[in-house]
Structure 1
Amino acid sequence: MPETLSERALLLINATSLTELSKAGTTDYPRWVNIKRGRARVGADEIEILGALYPQHRWWLMTGEVMLEMGQNRPDYSQK
């Protein structure tokens, strides 16, 4: 599993359409493309958007930890 916040964010970004990401907040489509392709770093605004899109992964996104008892898991848990 991804080790850093940026790696965890990229995992969620790659699992989401860029159109959906650009409609979910103030970050525009070209910026999401640049982040996905490694030409830009994920920022606080993008982390907030991902947290809003994936509330069940918010804690994992921020810390890398899973808290199943609180409904907070990794993406591979929710795919089972």
Structure 2
Amino acid sequence: MAQGMADRALQLLELTSLKDLAEVNSKEYVRWQSIKRKKARFAVDELEQLVALYPQYRWWLITGEPLPEAGQTVPET
């Protein structure tokens, strides 16, 4: 089954501490918790934040493919 961008973003989020994304107990932190628990959907702002935190996964996040010649890898699961 093909994995969509939201699925890849959730996979990346599983490897991420919410503290790296927002201040604990802030509105943004609660939003990230909801996304991680699949009670909310990713928006462009959240995707941009993940790409800023993990620039080496940018291409994979968008396309689902690695681009090693450009330094774009796939997160280890």
TM-score between both structures, scaled by the size of structure 1: 0.84
Within 2, Cα distance between the matches of 1:3 and 1:42? 15
Give percent identity, aligned residues only: 49
Question: Which structure 1 segments of 5+ residues have no match?
Answer: none
Within 2, Cα distance between the matches of 1:22 and 1:65? 28
TM-fit CA distance, 1:74: 0.4
Aligned residues: 74
Structure 1 residues 32-71: aligned runs within 5 Å: 32-71=32-71
TM-score between both structures, scaled by the size of structure 2: 0.87
Q: Which amino acid aligns with 2:8?
A: R
Moved over 6 A (4+): none
SS at match of 1:12: helix
Within 1, Cα distance between the matches of 2:22 and 2:63? 24
CA RMSD of aligned residues (A): 1.9
Q: Which has the higher helix share?
A: 1
